[in-house]
Structure 1
C-alpha cells in the first residue's frame, strides 16, 4: 500500500473516532435542569443560621429558597427585623402542610446536628442553637390555610 494512502486511512479513522467521541459526550450532557440541580436545603439552612449573629443583613431572598424548593416552588424569602423568613405553598411530594413541616424539621435536624429540637408538634417545629445569650431560634409553622413558614431569628 502506498504510504500516503495509509496515512489518509489512519487520519480518517482517527477523525471518525473523534467525531464519535464528541457525539457520545454531547448526548450524555443533560440539556435540562433536574432536581439535583436545585439548591441544597442543608446549604441554605447553614448559610441562614451563620448569618444570624450579623442580623441576616448579607442574605438575599434567594439564599433561603433552597430550604423550600424540595417542598414547594413559590418560596418568598427575606430578612425582616432580627430574623430571616421564608414561606411557601407545599406541593408535589410534600403533600399537606403537616407533612411539609415534618420534612423541614427532618432537614433541620439532619443538617444542623448542634440544634436542639424542643418542640415537635403538627402545628410547630422549633429548634435552637447556642447558649441562651446568643441563641439562634429556628421555627417552622403553618402560615394560613395552605402555606408553610420558616423563621430563623438570632439574639
Structure 2
C-alpha cells in the first residue's frame, strides 16, 4: 500500500503545520485529549496535588512567620505583610492578615513548638503532594509503553 492509498484514521494527520489541520481534525484532537485526560485520571491527580498544596500552605506561612519573628519585631513584620495588599485581592489579604495577627503577637518563647509543628506538617503535606504527583506520573509512563525508552522506570527485582 503506497502513501496515496493510506487509510486516514484522523483528519489532518498528514499536516505539517497546525494551520493545515481542518476544523474536523481539531475536533478529533479535542475529543482524543479529553478521552486521554479521563483515562489518565488527570483531574483526580490535580485535585490531590491541590489538596496537599493547600494543606501545606498555612503551616508553611506559620513556620516562615515564626522564624521571621525570631529576627524582627512585630511592627516590622506587619509592615512587610501589608505590602501583600498590593498584589492580593482585598478579601484574601484580610483573611491572611487575620490568620497571621495572633501568630505575630505571640512571644518569642512560644514559637518553639509552633515552629516545629508547622515545619513538620508542611514537610509531610509537601511530601504527600509530591508522592501523589510522582506516583501518577510513573503509572502514566507504565501505561504508555512508547515512553519507557525515554524515561528510566524502577523495576521490581525481587
Greater strand content: 1
Q: RCO greater where, 1 or 2, for CA within 8 Å and sep 6 or more?
A: 2
Greater helix content: 2
Normalised TM-score (structure 2)? 0.31
